[in-house]
Amino acid sequence: MFPVMALTVTTWNINSVRLRIDLVAKFLKSARPDVLCLQETKCPDDAFPLRRFRQLGYEHAALNGQKGYHGVAVLSRLPFDGIDVQSFCGKTDCRHVAVILGERAGLKDPITLHNLYVPAGGDEPDPAVNPKFEHKLAFLDEMSRARHLHPARNERAILVGDLNVAPLEHDVWSHKQMLNVVSHTPIECEKLTAARVAGGWIDSMRVLVPEPEKLYTWWSYRARDWRAADRGRRLDHVWTSDAIAGAVSSIAIAKNYRGAERPSDHVPVTARFEV
């Protein structure tokens, strides 16, 4: 018998795991998610602070990192049945890692969990003059075509991460003023939505918190007083396949972590599943 259990998954662009390991530890001691998905770890695998995570109870790790840039990791209190890493756009720039949670984690039916870090795209929203933006658009297109991001009809799958696009009008502080700003341009929004639809994914955050309510997970370092200005964007996402969409019972955005000492500009987003 496999009883119904609660599974909590946190996604967080940490902007250097070694620099902010104490902040991560504070969060883990408080929130105790079962699984933590980090992006922008900026850390090669052989230098990842695994010992600290094990001390915190996160003994299982799936890493895909490199020195100084990008990088993703999954840290878990539950064991994995499998680990997979995929590359995009012919680059080995450490933007994807997936794990399978199955019988070893106490689940009768397995869950595939993808952790993604989509390119930020630079500042100029013109692929003709900005190679970073060109790369971002190509990455989003490849997400639409990627078979490993297309769950089978009855497959329980979750996709989380910093997707670096705020696709909806109320995912940004001002739709009108953000239309020409990278992360909310029409072409990015269209391509991210196309990738979600192609994979049959459901935007679980917006199921639980429908528009027109504002929803942010990121606040710029450039703001003198980020809290007072509250010019945020929803760049971090939780997508679910249809087979597990109904299991999402809550999603919490830990906004207070943006006000920590030496914070990331992203905050933790935690989804709870009744599985």
- Domains of the chain plus CATH, in order, are 6-274 (3.60.10.10)
> Would you report the helix, strand and coil content of the chain in percent, each value rounded to 5?
30, 25, 45
| Strand 156-162, strand 111-117: pairing | parallel
Angstrom CA distances, 262 to 45, 266, 268, stand at 23, 12, 15
pLDDT for 2 equals 65
| 104 vs 19: CA distance, rounded Å | 32
**With a cut of 70, which residues of the chain have pLDDT below it?**
1-3
Residue 266: the pLDDT is: 98
pLDDT of residue 32: 98
Predicted TM-score (pTM) of this structure: 0.97
| Integer Cα distance of 41 and 64 in angstroms | 9
The three-state secondary structure class of 219 is strand
Give the H/E segment covering residue 233.
strand 232-233
Give every CB contact of residue 244 below 8 A, 6+ residues apart in sequence. Answer: 111, 156, 157, 158, 273, 275
Start-to-end CA distance of the chain, whole Å, equals: 13
pLDDT at 98: 98
